[in-house]
A = this chain, B = another copy of it.
C-alpha cells in the first residue's frame, strides 16, 4: 500500500489547545472518516512535520497519542501504518447508569436504603482506609426498560459529598461524584458469577438459583483518593460487560 499524503491541517497557534493535540485530533478524524484507509502508510514524520508546519517533537507527540490509542503502528525503518479506524480505548470507566443512558434505555432507580454508618471492615479495607471511616451506604435497584436489572450496594466516604435519595433516584452515582468534583479515574474490579439467592431473586423478579453476574469495584479519583466501593449483582440474562483491552 503506497504512502498517503495527509491533507493540510489547520492550526491555531493562539488557541489554548496544544498543537500536538490539534494535529492528533485531525489525524484521528481523517482515519475515522476513511480518508486515510486502514493498511495505508503515513509519510515519514520528518516530512509530515515540515509540511504541517510543526516541529518533529510535536509531530511525534501527536502520532504517539494515536499509537497509544491503537489506531497507528510504528516500526523503525518501516514507517507508520494505520491499523484500526476506530479508537480502541483500554476500558471505559463508566457506571451502569452511564452505559444505559448512552444506549437510550432511560434507566430508573429505586433507592432501597440510604444511611450513614461506619464502614464495615471489608469496605474500609477496599477503600484503603485503616478503619473508623464514616460512609454513606446505599442499596439501589436499577431498572431498564421497565424490568429490574441489577441490585447495587455502594459505599461513598461521607466527607466527599452529601447524598440524598432524591438525587440518586434521578442521576447515577458517578454523575453525582463528577458533579462534586470527584472524577473517578481508576478502578479495580472483580467480575464473577453466582446463583441468585432467595432475596436477590425476589428483588430482581427472577427465580432462585438463576445465573447472576457479580461485580465488586473500588474507584479512585485523580489524586488517588478512594471515592467509591461497590458490590453489584446483575441479571445475567439481561446484562454483560464489554471490554477492550491492550497489552
Interface on A for B, CB 8 Å cutoff?
Answer: 38, 70, 73, 81, 83-84, 88, 90-93, 183-195, 209-214, 220, 222-224, 236, 239-247
Asked, given contacts A93-B246, A188-B243, A223-B83, whether A193 binds B212 with beta carbons under 8 Å apart, the answer is: yes
What are the residues of chain B within 8 A of A211 when measuring CB–CB? 193-195, 211-212
Beyond A191-B241, A195-B210, list 9 extra A-B contacts (CB 8 Å): A81-B224, A83-B220, A186-B244, A186-B246, A187-B244, A189-B245, A193-B213, A209-B209, A213-B213
User: How many copies of this chain sit in the oligomeric assembly?
Assistant: 2
**Top 3 A-B pairs, shortest CB-CB distance:** A83-B224, A192-B240, A193-B236
What are the residues of chain B within 8 A of A83 when measuring CB–CB? 220, 222-224
Contact present for A191 and B244 (CB under 8 Å): no
Contact present for A188 and B246 (CB under 8 Å): no
Asked, given contacts A192-B240, A240-B192, A242-B188, whether A73 binds B247 with beta carbons under 8 Å apart, the answer is: no
What are the residues of chain B within 8 A of A220 when measuring CB–CB? 83-84
Residue ID in chain B nearest A189 by CB atoms: B243
Residue ID in chain B nearest A245 by CB atoms: B91
Contact present for A245 and B38 (CB under 8 Å): no
A244 CB to closest chain B CB, in angstroms? 5
* Complex Cα–Cα for A88 and B189 (A): 12
* Complex Cα–Cα for A103 and B224 (A): 28
Contact present for A185 and B247 (CB under 8 Å): yes
Contact present for B246 and A191 (CB under 8 Å): no
* Complex Cα–Cα for A222 and B184 (A): 30
A147 CB to closest chain B CB, in angstroms? 17
Residue ID in chain B nearest A83 by CB atoms: B224
The contact sample of 24 A-B pairs, CB cut-off 8 A, is A70-B185, A88-B186, A88-B188, A90-B90, A91-B91, A91-B243, A184-B247, A186-B244, A186-B246, A188-B242, A188-B245, A190-B241, A190-B242, A190-B243, A191-B242, A193-B193, A193-B212, A193-B240, A195-B209, A195-B210, A195-B211, A209-B209, A211-B212, A214-B240
